[in-house]
Amino acid sequence: MFGEKYGPLTQTVALASILVTAFSALLLQAVGKISQWTFLVHDSPPFMVTAGVRALGIALIAFTFIVIDRSNYRWFAGGAVLLGVLMLALVARLDRLRKQYLCKVPDLNRDGSQARTWWGKEKFKMVVIGDSADMNSTAAAAYRQLTVSPCKFMSGYGGNGVNDPAAIWPMEILARNSRRMTTLLMGIFLSAVLALYIAASAIEVHLLAPDTAEALAK
């Protein structure tokens, strides 16, 4: 019913949705929830941070659906390939920053004990850190006396508040690193969604072309 009423749109959206869902699950498993990067961006909730990217993605998908036809679908297919390459480059960049500026620390209860899941598994959280060169003077002096990583140093520094990046780095440094990773993550999602949708649209138009339809019918 919907296919007859709306034509190839429903098939294209269905295919793109399946691919995007699979990609999102893999990306979520690899880099975690978006809230891990957005919690330092002016204390904004993840939805507010991603709203602009969502709106842009919808607008570009609508533009593609309106403009793509048999005369230009090959150009769109080439654009989908370029978006795929861009996504891979952004993933590599995010992975490097993730290893440099994210620390996995225990998620603690109010009494200081480590929180656990319903199944009794210990819970952890990711926190954004900075470089050793950006530490405040007091923390930098203590850090230079040790030979440990910034993550290890943070786990034993800060008085009553260990694993507190704000006790070691200025908030503007933490916000900058968080914003950089958030921007990359949004770029990955946007380029992935557009690449998958445009590729699906180009395939759809190609299959609907008369010569292709005749070849498939033989």
Enumerate the domain spans of the chain.
2-99+180-217
Beta bridge partners of 127: 103
CB 159 within 8 A of CB 167: yes
**pLDDT score recorded for residue 25:** 60
Beta bridge partners of 54: none
Q: Angle at CA 152, nearest 5°, toward 149 and 154?
A: 105
**pLDDT score recorded for residue 163:** 76
Biggest distance spanned by C-alpha atoms of the chain: 77
**pLDDT score recorded for residue 200:** 84
**pLDDT score recorded for residue 92:** 92
Helix H, strand E, coil C: the string for 74-135 is HHHHHHHHHHHHHHHHHHHHHHHHHHHHEEEEECECCCCCECECCCCCECEEEEECCCHHHC
**pLDDT score recorded for residue 82:** 96
> Can you say whether the dihedral through the CA atoms of 36, 39, 40, 44 is positive or negative?
positive
Q: What is the pLDDT along the chain (218 residues), one digit of tens a residue?
A: 334 444 555 655 565 566 556 666 655 555 555 555 555 444 555 555 567 777 788 888 888 888 998 899 999 999 999 999 999 999 899 889 988 888 888 877 777 677 888 888 888 888 888 998 899 998 899 888 888 888 888 876 555 556 788 888 998 898 888 888 888 888 888 888 888 889 888 888 888 766 654 554 45
**pLDDT score recorded for residue 216:** 46
The label of the residue with tokens 């607008």 reads: 59
Q: CA-to-CA distance for 27 and 21, rounded, in angstroms?
A: 10
Q: CA-to-CA distance for 190 and 45, rounded, in angstroms?
A: 19
Q: Write out the E strands in the chain.
A: 102-106, 124-128
- Crossing angle (nearest 10°) for helices 46-67 and 171-208: 20
**pLDDT score recorded for residue 213:** 46
